[in-house]
Amino acid sequence: MSLRTFVWILVAIIGITVISCNARMQFNSAKKEPQKQYIEEASITVTAPVLEKKTLNEEQIRETQKDFVDYAAVYGTFYKKVEYSLIYTLYKNEINLEDAQKNIFVIFEGKSFKYEILQNPEDKDEKIGISGTFEIDGKPFGTEIVLIKRNLNFWQALSVFPYSQANKESAQKYIDSIVIDEVIAHKAEKKK
């Protein structure tokens, strides 16, 4: 197994850990409508209910990937049955976006996952969007995911929801709202 494959297996494990921890802890439900917010530690602007910092998830990532990751920031919340999550990771070595995409699919194995890949070749960052549906105990759920890579910076924004057109539209608005800083000053590196 190559080092790159090992790193991306860890990325998938992080995704699974964050999703399962979030499901168990049931993020606090946001009280306010989605709003535009700048998250300095992740060098990103999103429109979502106010995202909470998830220190426990960050500590797990930093500990399990200390040889591969310089920094990690995790945020999330629930609002009207839709989960909003954001994971920012600054890696020590080069990473491959397609491998990350394949490992995301591991999260949905055995859940009748149906998806489409959405790519924007005009974007200056490497970016892959995934829009899909899956089942848990026979109940339909949806997910909107975007993976963004710029140099050693990696963002995973995802939204999971009981499937309905209204929930899908809310999740898609979140994903579509993402804007990465033009210049990333690596402020996060200094906050270890």
118 vs 75, 101, 162, 175, 179, CA distance in Å? 23, 11, 21, 12, 17
pTM to 2 decimal places: 0.79
Q: How confident is the model at residue 121 (pLDDT cuts 50, 70, 90)?
A: low
What single-letter DSSP state applies at residue 34?
-
CATH code, residues 3-191: 3.40.1000.10
Burial 99-126 (b: 16+ CB within 10 A, else e): bbbebbeebbeeeebebeeeeeeeeeeb
Residue type, 51: L
Rounded to the nearest 5°, which phi and psi values hold at 102? -60, -40
User: pLDDT per residue over 133-183, tens digit each?
Assistant: 999 888 999 999 999 999 899 999 999 999 999 999 999 999 999 999 877
User: pLDDT per residue over 53-96, tens digit each?
Assistant: 887 777 777 777 778 888 888 998 888 888 999 999 898 888 88
The pLDDT assigned to 109 comes to 83
Q: At what angle do helices 3-25 and 97-107 cross, to 10 degrees?
A: 40
Structure tokens, 78: 């629930």
Distance between CA 7 and CA 68 in Å, rounded? 7
CA-based angle 87:93:96, to the nearest 5? 65
Structure tokens, 158: 């995802």
The pLDDT assigned to 142 comes to 94
**Domain boundaries of the chain, sorted by first residue:** 3-191
